[in-house]
Every structure is written in C-alpha cells, then in structure tokens.
Structure 1
Amino acid sequence: MDPEVDVIAGKERSRGQAGAGIGNVWLRSPRGNKGEPPLTRERIVQAAVALLDEEGMDRLTMRHLAERLQVGATTLYWHVATKGDVIDLAVDAIFGETSLPDQRAENPRDDIVVLVNTWRQAMLRHPWAATLPARQRPLMGPNFLAWMEFLQSGLVRAGLTGKRLNAATWALYNHVMGATATQSSLQLSAEDARRGQEYLESRRDQYPTVAANNYICDADWDTSFTVGLGLLLDGIEAQTRS
C-alpha cells in the first residue's frame, strides 16, 4: 500500500474512534489548528465551494482538495474527517451567503415566497448542491437550520402543525431542489427540442396531451417554478381552512 494512503487511512480510523457513533460533522467538536497556521476550517470550506462550483461533485476528493489548498492530505484530515464532512460544511456555507429578513411580513405567505425564491437562487449559483436529496445525510448546519426555522415558523403562522407542517415543509423543499436540479442538468439544444417535439407530434394519437402542451420545448424555468410554488401554497392555504 502507498505509505501516504496508509497514513491517511490511519487518520480516518483514529478520527472514527475518537468520535465513535457520531456520524455528522455538526455533532462533533471541531479540532484545533495543527502545525502551520494558515489552514483553518473556514479556508477549507471556501476552497471546497470553489472547487465544487468549478468542477462539480464528481471531482471533489480529499486529495484534490488538499492539492488546491497546497497542503498534504494528512493535514487536511486533521480538520475534516471525511469527504462527507466537507460537503456538509460547503452546503451550509451556501446558506450563509444570504441573510434572512430581519422582520417578518404581516402575511406569512410573503415570507415563504421570499425564502423559497432566495433558496432557489442559491442552488442555481451552486448547482452541485441540488444533487443533495439523493444523499443519506440530513442538513443540520447552523445556516440551513436558520432557514428551516424561518420556513417552518412561517408555515406555523399560516396555521399548519404536526404532520401537515412537516409534509408542507418537504413539499416546498422538494420543489426547490427538484426544480433547480432539473434546470441545472437538463440542457436541451434547440435542435434536440425541435426533434423531440416532432417525435411527440408523430405519436399524437398515443400522447395527445403531452404533444399539445409543449412538454419538450418549454424551458421557461422561472415561470414554471413560480406557478408551481403558487399551486403548492394555494394547497397549503386550503389545508389551513379545512
């Protein structure tokens, strides 16, 4: 085995033993700086966000991040135990880029609309983050939890509690993440869209509704998101009256 890899694996094991049973970075105390000062958790997170923005999730490895920071991989492992930790920290940093409103609107729906649209813009600036629903790691960073508190308190003010509150939260979460993931990844050329629509037209007897409603060619993401959000919020308001 490569000696450096063996050392790194040893670091992973020792970190795992030190924090046995604690699998989330937000539930462990950060370690102090080791050796040469300039490497800090904040600097690691900034570099990770930049790497992810430029190269995507598939290119994020601890070794590649260490190279970007111009440190050894073992030094990086002193500050963050796993790649998953790096991703959790990077995602929370995204939610820290924009401050939440200082005051609440009189109508809680207005607060929810502002939050959800701001959330969407954050994901579009960092499209790799929209892949997170597929990961088995809950978002528990302080910035994300502040956003979630703002959202759920707005839903409570709107009259939701219990199961309906959590269901509405997840519906809005999935609307943001699903819409931004699709917008970021589905990039049809004009020719692909034209040929797709021709294909549907040639099978209009099988798919009459799909062919008639511009399924392939509609790339007005802003309108689709806004209208979809309105439908969700109308449904939520109807639930509060039932």
Structure 2
Amino acid sequence: MGRLTMRRLAERLGTGSTTLYWHVKTKDDVLDLALDAIFHDVPVPRGGGDWCRDVTALLTGWRAALLAHPWSAALLSRPMLGPNVLARSEFLYATLRAAGITGPHLTAAAYGLSNYVIGSALMQATWQPGDDDAAQRAAQEHVQAGADRYPTLAAHGPFTGGDWDTTFTLGLTYLLDGILANAVG
C-alpha cells in the first residue's frame, strides 16, 4: 500500500486527483473504503443455529477474503468503522453473547478470534511456499542443526510444511473450545 498515491489512483480511474478529493479526504479514507469493500465478500451466517458453526463460518469467510486480497491483513490495525466491517463484527459479538459469553470475556473472546484470523491470514499471505524456497530451506536447516535445543520445532515446527487450511481450522477449534469452556465453566 506504500505505493498507493492519490495521483496514481486517479490515473488508474481515468480522472484527476482533484476529482477524487470530492469523494474522499485522504489516502487513508481510500484504504478504509477498500477494507470495508473486502468485508462485503464475507458471508454473514444466518445465525440462530450452532454458535460454534456460525462463528467458524464467519471467521473462515473472513480469512478467505483477506487471503484473496493479501495486502489487506497488514492494514487491519486501522479503526474499521465501515458498514460491512461493523455488520460482521456485530454478528460475531452477538453470536458470542448468545452463547453465554459476557462482560470482559466477550471482548477478549472476540479480540482473540479476530486476532487469530488476522495473524493467520497475514502469515499465510506473506510466507507462501515457493516464494523463497532457499530462505525456507535455510530456516529449516538452522532449526534442524539446533534440534538438540529445539527438538519439538525440528520435528513439528513451521518449517516442515503443512496444510494452512487444516492448521487454521484446528487452531480455531481449540480457541472456540476454550471460549466455550470458560463461558460455561
């Protein structure tokens, strides 16, 4: 996103940069609109069913949208107040609330789940297999050479390959199980 300028955007849209300022005040406004547009692609589950299934569907859709737009995960530190983001956030909070999660636990659960999706998408978008095989091989060799100090990482760590989708789903299941245990317990 560092290469985005209002002038370049105006050229790409076939207009003048002054015309853009009739619609947005700053480049940050453009980024906010772009982020909110991405969230439009995230289906909101019907709700009312199994809360874990509904949250999983929402977060899996969110992750897919972020991966379809790899630049987006790095921008999610911005306040997200667009209608698409807020509708999905409202669904997440309301679903967790209906599952019995209240007070500070509700915010912690929503943040934890949101941060998990963002972190997963950011990691996958920025570290794709094949992007830099030499660097990944060197990292794996480094960990393997220190296997006496890092035996679990050498055997099971992030350099051994793996299936991003399966790993995401398992991690999400662990988080939801923990949230459920604390909501009921």
Task: Quote the residue 1:113 is aligned against.
Answer: 56
Task: Quote the residue 1:170 is aligned against.
Answer: 111
Task: Quote the residue 1:185 is aligned against.
Answer: 126
Residue 100 in 1 paired to residue 68 in 2? no
Instruction: State the shift of 1:191 in Å.
Output: 4.4
Instruction: State the shift of 1:98 in Å.
Output: 4.0
Q: What's the TM-score, normalizing by structure 2?
A: 0.92
Residue 145 in 1 paired to residue 89 in 2? no
Higher relative contact order (CA 8 A, sep 6+): 2
Aligned residues: 183
C-alpha distance in structure 2 between counterparts of 1:139 and 1:89, whole Å? 9
Task: Quote the residue 1:28 is aligned against.
Answer: none
Which SS does the other structure have where 1:216 is aligned?
helix
CA contact (8 A) 1:92 1:141 kept: yes
C-alpha distance in structure 2 between counterparts of 1:203 and 1:217, whole Å? 15
Structure with bigger gyration radius: 1
In structure 1, stretches of 5+ residues that fail to align are 1-56
Give the fraction of aligned pairs with identical amino acids, expressed as a percent. Answer: 49
C-alpha distance in structure 2 between counterparts of 1:186 and 1:88, whole Å? 25
1:80 alignment partner, one of 12, 15, 24: 24
C-alpha distance in structure 1 between counterparts of 2:128 and 2:54, whole Å? 31
Task: Quote the residue 1:159 is aligned against.
Answer: 100
Instruction: State the shift of 1:72 in Å.
Output: 1.3
C-alpha distance in structure 1 between counterparts of 2:21 and 2:113, whole Å? 36
Which SS does the other structure have where 2:101 is aligned?
coil
Q: What's the TM-score, normalizing by structure 1?
A: 0.71
**Partner amino acid, structure 1, of 2:40:** G
C-alpha distance in structure 1 between counterparts of 2:151 and 2:124, whole Å? 25
Instruction: State the shift of 1:193 in Å.
Output: 3.4
2:14 alignment partner, one of 53, 70, 90: 70
Instruction: State the shift of 1:218 in Å.
Output: 2.4
